[in-house]
Structure 1
Amino acid sequence: MSRKIVSTFINRNPRNLELLRLQRKPSGYDFERNREVRNYIYKAVFRTTKNHSEGRIVHYESGTILTASTKEKQINDQLVSATDANAAINVARVLADRCLKSGIHECLAGTYKNDPNKNHLTDLFFEALGQSGIKLQEPPMIPQSFLNDPQFVSDPFLVRHTREDKVDELMIELEKNKKLF
């Protein structure tokens, strides 16, 4: 009995490297103001407009993957108002259910410290998303080394920043001081 060995392997699960924590997520640029905005694989985003509330899960390459909104008739029929705190909590619960059914258990909260669009509804949305079973932080990535990549032959290069590299930070501080006067 002879066995045939496959010479090529086709990965039918595109999320395989994400789930194994081997895929590199984009890290942004070192000296950007909002570096954490681009440092995610999945990100949860909440937006309210004048008439509706919407929650989305965004993938860093593919864009929007899942949505839940009060524009959907099934959700809107159960709510008194489409823009209040109850709407934000229920949109989060529906989005969390859809995430868990599609296999997304961790995502990053899509707001940062000084976000002008952040309000109490956003806080309620992320709190309800966390209570529904979604972890609001991504697991750490496994660093690439010769242990998990046999073709990796060099040690990682340590970046030591110089005085010239910190010019952007100095310029930002100067701009802030000008606004004070």
Structure 2
Amino acid sequence: MALSELSRSIRMLRCRLIVSTNQTTRCLSQAASQPEPEPSANEAEAVNPTFVNRNPRNLEQMALAVKDRGWKTTWPHRQFYHRLMFSRTQNHVTAAVFSSTSPVPVLSCSTKEWAIKKELPSTNCVAACQAVGEVLAHRCKQAGITRMVYRAIPWTYRSDAVQSFRAAMKEGGIILSEPRRKYVGT
């Protein structure tokens, strides 16, 4: 706090010296004068009373978008904006991000892709799960999806493969939980 006050007093002193020596140089701390707007120009720039949101994920990022509650008996429940599904078979590892509004995955990554497969010694090992997590986290960041729900099946949650996948997603900057929905009073 004291340092900023000291630098401000030095600038003011410098301005006084410039003014006292009758130089025409403008002081650095003075703002440039703004031209006065014409009254007729403001009438043409009236603000539209209705606003159309052009970013479809803006309300999701602010946790204001509607989450479909659905029936309590449906599994998996649909109370999410984006859901991460991870599956590991005998031959391949696959991860996909689903939106609550569509059954088609928004993003996906698998060891079936040639670019990932050629870098791995095996397509179903722990290193493959980690590689799929890193690539999917990068794709999610590029798409602007930073938060999603991930609920692993309880009996597979403690495996090394699932833990390395989760760790790779978190290191990639993805938060594996969504904020609670905010209810705005109307």
For normalisation by structure 1, the TM-score amounts to 0.69
Distance between the aligned counterparts of 1:118 and 1:20, measured in 2?
A: 29
Distance between the aligned counterparts of 1:77 and 1:37, measured in 2?
A: 36
Given candidates 33, 40, 45, the residue that maps to 2:85 is 45
Shift of 1:138: 0.5
Shift of 1:42: 0.9
Q: Which amino acid aligns with 1:111?
A: A
Matched, 1:17 2:59: yes
Distance between the aligned counterparts of 1:9 and 1:88, measured in 2?
A: 44
* Contact 1:69–1:91 (CA under 8 A) maintained in structure 2: yes
Shift of 1:93: 0.5
Q: Which amino acid aligns with 1:75?
A: I
Unaligned stretches of 5+ residues in structure 1: 146-151, 153-181
Distance between the aligned counterparts of 2:179 and 2:51, measured in 1?
A: 27
Matched, 1:127 2:175: no
Matched, 1:72 2:85: no
SS of equivalent to 1:108:
coil
Matched residue count: 142
- Relative to structure 1, the CA distance from residue 112 to residue 38 in structure 2 (aligned partners, 3 Å threshold; closer, same or farther) is farther
Matched, 1:84 2:143: no
Distance between the aligned counterparts of 2:165 and 2:148, measured in 1?
A: 14
Distance between the aligned counterparts of 2:97 and 2:178, measured in 1?
A: 13
* Contact 1:37–1:112 (CA under 8 A) maintained in structure 2: no
Alpha carbon RMSD of aligned pairs, Å?
Answer: 2.3
Distance between the aligned counterparts of 1:110 and 1:66, measured in 2?
A: 17
Shift of 1:19: 1.4
Distance between the aligned counterparts of 1:37 and 1:78, measured in 2?
A: 36
Shift of 1:33: 7.5
Distance between the aligned counterparts of 1:140 and 1:98, measured in 2?
A: 24
For normalisation by structure 2, the TM-score amounts to 0.67
Q: Which amino acid aligns with 1:13?
A: N
Unaligned stretches of 5+ residues in structure 2: 1-39
In the other structure, the counterpart of 1:166 is none
In the other structure, the counterpart of 1:171 is none
Matched, 1:140 2:183: no
- Relative to structure 1, the CA distance from residue 93 to residue 22 in structure 2 (aligned partners, 3 Å threshold; closer, same or farther) is same
Q: Radius of gyration: which is bigger?
A: 2
The sequence identity of aligned pairs, in percent, is 30
- The one of the two structures with greater contact order (alpha-carbon pairs below 8 A, sep at least 6) is 1
Q: Which amino acid aligns with 1:40?
A: F
Distance between the aligned counterparts of 1:62 and 1:13, measured in 2?
A: 18
Q: Which amino acid aligns with 2:115?
A: Q
